[in-house]
Each structure stands twice: as structure tokens, then as C-alpha cells.
A = this chain, B = another copy of it.
Amino acid sequence: MIIKPYGYALWENIKGELDRQIKETGHTNVYFPLFIPESLLQKEKDHVEGFAPEVAWVTHGGEEELGERICVRPTSEVLFCEYYSKNIHSYRDLPKLYNQWSNVVRWEKTTRPFLRSLEFLWQEGHTAHATREEAAEETDRMLEVYADVVENYLAIPVVKGRKTESEKFAGAEYTLTIECLMHDGRALQAGTSHLFGDGFAKAFDIQYLDKDGKQQYVHQTSWGITTRLIGALIMVHGDNRGLVIPPRIAPTQVMIVPIAQHKEGVLDKAYDLRDELANIARVDIDASDNMPGWKFNECEMKGYPVRIEIGPRDIEKNQVVLVRRDTNEKQFVAMNELNEKLPQILEDIQQNLFDQALAHRENKTTTVKSLEEMEKALEENPGFMKAMWCGDEACEEKVKEDYQVTTRCIPFEQEKVADTCFCCGKEADQLVYWARAY
């Protein structure tokens, strides 16, 4: 998969904000190797079982066959663990709060642009702490950072919760997740944060001397989000006319389209306007020799939040025509009021996109109390299904096999929508979000 300029610019903006928050919460960036020796990958049993079937193996370097196969990292827990085992000695070395921006490879049979690709870009945080409590706090903290970026920058509402045992990360004690709903009613896991407890620490012998002079195992976390967020963005906000990009992460927030640009003064005025607005927004101008209709179309397809049209008559009246991508609403704005109004309009669009996505998700969230009700929901209004679950993996497995519906998470915000498991009818006290997922 190639990420072209517009897609990569979106990633740069997502990355920019997330990196800022990762640093603000005390983490530093590092870079660990792409390759993992097979023996190292095998050190933690659950982890290798989860990942070995989907890694790419390097067997030759140059002309020579390698003595030991190495894999291209599918994730880097074992590399960080190996490093921590050699570099953590005392409580003074803790916490270790590392993050890296990198590429990873998972040998998937079926791929889908941005959502599931053989190689993808991501950040992976790997931290080590003195106590389980600290590690658990870190796991929560990073889930909140993810939720903030996805909700407040990508304008996508999330459901926060915990993965079930069968859906958690290979090697984790538990996995927290933010789950989103796409326009077509399918769910997407948008970011995860894992508590490892001391499982990896024991496998890799990562111990430190505590204040009382006793050897203790560290407690670890890891957390990641990927370029699939670009896919989420497209599938949540896009419509039949193309993309709709939330202003806060839009590479171009405002596109100026000159009308009758061959007429004297139009282009000059349009460029002046661009230069003025450049102080308050990411603004560009389409002065190509395409027809205005073609340009409008291009603006819609690219999903620029705001389009500003300026022609001879507008210049006469000292105004511009401003068109919102989200509502298609057209308004005349006096030239001297643009500086004041534009930032507010961009914020309104940001908020409106979030509100629309939330309303859409609410409309597509059904409470179901039996398998029949699930069938009906899948047929009539597919989306999130809220249902009580007994906790038995047999029910989870059955629903997955029969309906291709998986548990998305046990939400933090619990409700008791029934007394019994919607699948087996036994007593149940956990609410779970279910859906067909990407």
C-alpha cells in the first residue's frame, strides 16, 4: 500500500497532535530495530503463539543463509523487554516511558486499504513501572489520550472499554480499547492500551532493586494506534461526494477558488486573501486553468472544510462566498469580517462533524436481549449491539461463528439492559458491545 501525499499529510497531522500529547504525558521517543531473532520472539509463550503465524521471515542476508531466522517486527514488546532486562537495575531507573513511531508488518491473507494492510505505520508505547497500580494508571492514561485525539481531532466518537479474554492482546493481562462505528455499520478498533502486569518481566527477567533493597519484577504496558485511523476518518465522515475532513486535522482547511479569474484584479485579490487568511488557517488557492465547476468538485472530493469563492462581483461588494463542506451551506461574508468569522466557522464544522457521527452511532446502536433480536438488528439496522453476556466464551464463539459478530468491548459505562445472557439465557451481569467489525 502506498500512502499518497494527501493521506500522508493527514497522518502527519494526526501524528503531530498525538506526539504532542505523548510527550506532554512524560514519554520520550526512541527507535528500536526492525528485526527480531526467532529465539527472542519465542520467549513469551502467549505472545509468540499470537504473532508467529503472521510474521514475515528473513532467511538470507546478502548471499548468505542466516544461522537463525529473523522476523520483521509485528510489534516490538520483546525488543523493549530485552532492552529493559539489561537497563533497569534500581527503582531509580523507573518508570521507563518510551514510545516509537515505526512501521510493522503482519502477514494478512486479506487486506483492505488503511484498515488492514500487510505493512502499516503506527506508534507503539512501551513502559515499565515499579508497581502494578502505576502500570494500570498508565494503561488508563494512554487510552484517554487516544480517546481525546480521536474524539476531539478526528471528530469520531468512541466507546471506551475492556476487551474480553479471547480478544485481548497476545501476552496481556487485559486490553483496553476505543471502538468506533463506521458509516456502514461496521465497528473499528481504533486504538488499544494493554496492561501486561509482570508476565513479560518474568519471561525476560526484568527486575529492579526496590527502596528496601529487595528484587522486584517490573510491571509493564504497551499501547498503539495506527494509520488505520486514516481509514476511520474516511469511513466515518465521508459521503457520496467524497471525503469530509475535520478542520483540526485537515491539511487544507480553506480552499480559495477565484471566479472569472481572467478578469483584471481577481487573481491579485484572491492571492491577497490567501496571504491574509494564512495567519489564521491552513489555506490554499486553486488558480489552475480548470473551470470553477471542476474546482468545486475537487474541493468536495478532497473534503476541504471550507471553500471560498471570490469573483468580480464579490470584489465590488467587498465580500466572498463561503461554502461549508459539511452542510453545503452557502453564505456571503464581508471581507473585513472573515478574520473574525472563519475560526468560529471551522470550530462549528468540527463540532458538527462530531455531533453527526455521534447521532449516527446512536441511531445504529441497538439493545438486543436474544439471538433473534440480534438477527433482526443485523438485518434492519446493523451497527453496535448492546447485549448482556454471561461471560462464557462458548457464547462468544457461537455468535462469532453463526453471525460473524464479535465482542467489541465491555464498556466502562455499564448498564443493566437485561438479567440474562442474550445468547444462552443464563444469568448475566456484564453489558457488552457487539458488532461486525473491520
- Give A contacts to B, CB under 8 Å: 1-5, 8-9, 11-12, 28-35, 53-63, 69, 72, 83, 98, 102-103, 105, 107, 118-119, 121
B31 touches A8 (CB 8 A): yes
> Measured between alpha carbons, how far is A33 from B62 in the docked complex, in Å?
20
**A30 to chain B: which residues have CB within 8 Å?**
2-5, 8
With contact pairs A102-B103, A103-B102 given, residues A121 and B62 touching in the complex (Cβ less than 8 Å): no
Q: Give the residue name and chain of the B residue nearest to A117 (CB).
A: B33
A32 touches B2 (CB 8 A): yes
**Complex copy number for this chain:** 2
B53 touches A60 (CB 8 A): no
> Apart from A3-B30, A54-B62, A55-B62, what are 14 other A-B pairs with CB-CB below 8 Å?
A2-B30, A2-B83, A3-B32, A5-B28, A9-B29, A12-B29, A31-B121, A34-B72, A34-B119, A56-B60, A56-B62, A58-B58, A58-B72, A59-B60
A62 touches B53 (CB 8 A): yes
Q: Give the residue name and chain of the B residue nearest to A227 (CB).
A: B31
A367 CB, min distance to chain B CBs, angstroms: 39
> Measured between alpha carbons, how far is A56 from B31 in the docked complex, in Å?
20
A163 CB, min distance to chain B CBs, angstroms: 23
A22 CB, min distance to chain B CBs, angstroms: 12
Q: Give the residue name and chain of the B residue nearest to A83 (CB).
A: B2
B61 touches A107 (CB 8 A): yes
**A61 to chain B: which residues have CB within 8 Å?**
56-57, 107
Q: Per a CB cutoff under 8 Å, which of B3, B12, B29, B57 touches A5?
A: B29
**16 A-B pairs in the complex with CB atoms less than 8 angstroms apart:** A2-B31, A2-B32, A3-B31, A5-B28, A8-B30, A34-B103, A35-B56, A35-B119, A53-B62, A53-B63, A55-B62, A56-B60, A57-B58, A59-B60, A72-B72, A103-B103
A371 CB, min distance to chain B CBs, angstroms: 34
> Measured between alpha carbons, how far is A102 from B12 in the docked complex, in Å?
14
**A9 to chain B: which residues have CB within 8 Å?**
28-29
**A118 to chain B: which residues have CB within 8 Å?**
35
Q: Give the residue name and chain of the B residue nearest to A58 (CB).
A: B56
Which 8 residue pairs across A and B have the least CB separation, nearest first?
A5-B28, A61-B107, A3-B31, A57-B60, A62-B107, A59-B59, A56-B58, A8-B29
**A60 to chain B: which residues have CB within 8 Å?**
56-57, 59, 69
> Measured between alpha carbons, how far is A29 from B60 in the docked complex, in Å?
31
A122 CB, min distance to chain B CBs, angstroms: 12
Q: Give the residue name and chain of the B residue nearest to A109 (CB).
A: B62
Q: Which residue of A9, A29, A31, A121 has the most chain B CB atoms within 10 A of its CB atom?
A: A31
Q: Give the residue name and chain of the B residue nearest to A104 (CB).
A: B34
**A102 to chain B: which residues have CB within 8 Å?**
103
A28 CB, min distance to chain B CBs, angstroms: 4
Q: Per a CB cutoff under 8 Å, which of B1, B11, B35, B59 touches A33?
A: B1
**A107 to chain B: which residues have CB within 8 Å?**
61-62
A52 CB, min distance to chain B CBs, angstroms: 8
Q: Give the residue name and chain of the B residue nearest to A70 (CB).
A: B56
> Measured between alpha carbons, how far is A8 from B102 in the docked complex, in Å?
13
> Measured between alpha carbons, how far is A62 from B83 in the docked complex, in Å?
26
**A32 to chain B: which residues have CB within 8 Å?**
2-3
**A5 to chain B: which residues have CB within 8 Å?**
28-30, 98
Q: Give the residue name and chain of the B residue nearest to A100 (CB).
A: B8
